[in-house]
Amino acid sequence: MDHPCYSLDQYFSGDKPCLTFNIEDLHHQSPHDNTVIHRHNYYEIYLFTKGGGKHIIEFDAYDVKDLSVSVVFPRQFHQLTLNKEAKGKVIMFNEELFCSEMLQKELRAYCVDLQMRLNDIQLNEKQHTEINGIFDMVTNLFTDLNILKKEQVRHMIKLVVLNLMDMSKSRVLSKKEAADSNLFLEFTNMVDSQYKELRLVSEYSEELGLSSKKLNALAKKYRGQTALQVIHDRIFLEAKRLLTFSGLTHKEIAYELQFDSPSAFNKFIHAKTNWSPSELQTKLTMIHTKEH
């Protein structure tokens, strides 16, 4: 099954200008169906004032709780099923709004585990009041936009993200820690784009100009894993996505992921889960099809 990847311009039609950001009530009339698994090429920040429902992001399922926030990153699979009593807002914004500059450059050293930290955040009342106040200001500005107000919105969305990063237990890194985290980010970025072609730690360490020992030390420091486990986890994530969403046969998935044979793919899945690909596929499919 081919799951769609939506763009923000689907919210803007007719004479309404296409913007790099948008803000809506949780129960707004969406141009697409949030209750089925999908992806976006933009960010979403959900602020839940009152909870109720279930939010699946990739293969983690979160209860929608009072006074919580969920940030969905571009191209993450997700599915949101809300109860009628749930209340809150969602801000949407494209990567080009600021994130390519801020998250990838200015704050790169703080973003090693950013998605994991921001996918689900429980706020206290003071934190919720602070974030909700910024959401309200964005809402007010959005009703009568001009060039200056658009710039204000851009900076307020930055402020929301910075606050959430701080609230999710980020800390200031030393120069050495910042340098190390930059190296680890280069590694994970390379894994994300080349996991099909490069399978050996030595291949990545050579590309990065590091020893395999140093690369393993960085992986242990930031993930509690070996570098090889980081590589295998990325392959496994893609395997789960393909088993759940692609409609490909197991043989086709094995060759899509560049395993030497279907048997090698089966052994890889069994080593990760103690299940066969068919058993894993059944369990993953249940996550995304059961009623909440």
Considering the domain architecture, whether residues 142 and 184 belong to the same structural domain is answered as: no
Considering the domain architecture, whether residues 151 and 78 belong to the same structural domain is answered as: yes
CATH code at 26?
2.60.120
CB-based contacts of 54: which residues, under 8 Å, 6+ apart? 61, 62, 63, 64, 80, 81, 292
Rounded Cα distance between 277 and 159, Å, is: 43
Considering the domain architecture, whether residues 63 and 115 belong to the same structural domain is answered as: yes
Give the confidence band of 98 by pLDDT, cuts at 50, 70, 90. low
Considering the domain architecture, whether residues 150 and 17 belong to the same structural domain is answered as: yes
Considering the domain architecture, whether residues 249 and 270 belong to the same structural domain is answered as: yes
Q: Which of 167, 200, 227 is the last residue of a domain?
A: 167
Give me the pLDDT at residue 174, please: 65
Out of 3-17, 51-65, 94-108, which region has the weakest mean confidence (pLDDT)? 94-108
Does the structure show a pLDDT above 50 at 292? no
Does the structure show a pLDDT above 50 at 291? no
Give me the pLDDT at residue 6, please: 87
Give the confidence band of 187 by pLDDT, cuts at 50, 70, 90. very high
Does the structure show a pLDDT above 60 at 203? yes
Average pLDDT score over residue span 226-247:
91
Element (H, E) at 72: strand 68-72
Number of neighbouring beta carbons within 10 Å of residue 229:
16
Average pLDDT score over residue span 24-38:
85
Q: How does pLDDT run across 160-180, given as a tens digit for each residue?
A: 988 998 888 655 556 776 678
Number of neighbouring beta carbons within 10 Å of residue 83:
12
Does the structure show a pLDDT above 50 at 74? yes
Q: Which of 126, 144, 167 is the last residue of a domain?
A: 167
Considering the domain architecture, whether residues 205 and 161 belong to the same structural domain is answered as: no
Domain hosting 16: range is: 5-167
Considering the domain architecture, whether residues 184 and 226 belong to the same structural domain is answered as: yes
Out of 64-73, 131-140, 171-180, which region has the weakest mean confidence (pLDDT)? 171-180
Rg (CA), the chain: 20
Considering the domain architecture, whether residues 63 and 197 belong to the same structural domain is answered as: no
Q: Which of 101, 135, 167 is the last residue of a domain?
A: 167
Give me the pLDDT at residue 102, please: 55
Considering the domain architecture, whether residues 63 and 112 belong to the same structural domain is answered as: yes
Residue 255 contacts residue 246 (beta carbons within 8 Å): no
Considering the domain architecture, whether residues 33 and 90 belong to the same structural domain is answered as: yes
Give the confidence band of 54 by pLDDT, cuts at 50, 70, 90. very high
Question: Per the structure, how many domains does the chain have?
Answer: 2
CATH code at 193?
1.10.10.60
Considering the domain architecture, whether residues 239 and 143 belong to the same structural domain is answered as: no
Angstrom CA distances, 237 to 180, 230, 283, stand at 25, 11, 14
Give me the pLDDT at residue 41, please: 82
**Alpha carbon of residue 42 to chain centroid:** 10
Does the structure show a pLDDT above 90 at 231? yes
